[in-house]
Amino acid sequence: MKTRIVLASASARRRDLMRQAGFDFRVSPANIDETPQPGETPCDLVLRLALGKARAVAGAVASPVGGDPRVVVVGADTVVVSPDGQVFGKPTGRDDFLSMFRSLAGRRHRVLTGVAVVAGGCCRTTLAEAGVTLRDVPESEMAAYWATGEPRDKAGGYGLQGFGAIFVRAIEGSPSAVIGLPLDELERLLTELGVETWRFRGATRLRRRSAVGS
């Protein structure tokens, strides 16, 4: 039986990135408590949640005798850290979004993404950090952006791959880490666990060609 990759996330952006990287995978969102623990740093938070998501899904698909080495589960979590050190997840509403965006506009902030891969009884984690500088954004643009609906499910209230890209002045580091899944780091973790990633890409390419020719 071939190796199966499972993405433990409901994020459309992470699904798009996995497809962009050529992976054949299925989606099984994790349902875990994402409340930060007392005194937890942003780095520790995203790593803990990424691993928690991956382990939760791995446990659900595991065989009765233990982890199935043919099932590889990928988990990820992203937060935005403001210049003042505030940790932003997804906005809870319009007022929360406006408060977030006011603190980010015209300034440089950090985006942290934790990634975890679980295969059988083994796991690997890594942290990717990027710096993002937004241009000055007037309140009218913030309100118009919120009205599009895009900010509602994004850490920090903006999406690099959508309308939010018009606010971004500079990025330091991996753009895919800002979107929510650093592909270079994911590739490294999968390779460390013995996953032959290029087999997935070859199989995906063949299926696409067959679909076009049918």
For residues 28 and 60, the answer to whether their CB atoms sit within 8 Å is yes
- Both tokens of residue 14? 């992470």
Q: Of 158, 131, 160, give the one whose Cα is nearest residue 142.
A: 158
Query: Helix %, strand %, coil % for the chain, to 5?
Result: 45, 25, 30
DSSP code string of 96-107: HHHHHHHHHTTS
Rounded to the nearest 5 degrees, what angle is found at the Cα of 168, between the Cα atoms of 162 and 172?
A: 110
Beta carbons of 40 and 81 less than 8 angstroms apart: no
Instruction: Give me the helix-helix angle, 197-213 and 183-192, nearest 10°.
Output: 120
Active-site residue among 77, 84, 95, 184?
77
**C-alpha–C-alpha distance, residues 134 and 131, integer Å:** 10
Strands (E), 13-82: 25-27, 71-81
77 is catalytic: yes
Which residues belong to the active site? 77
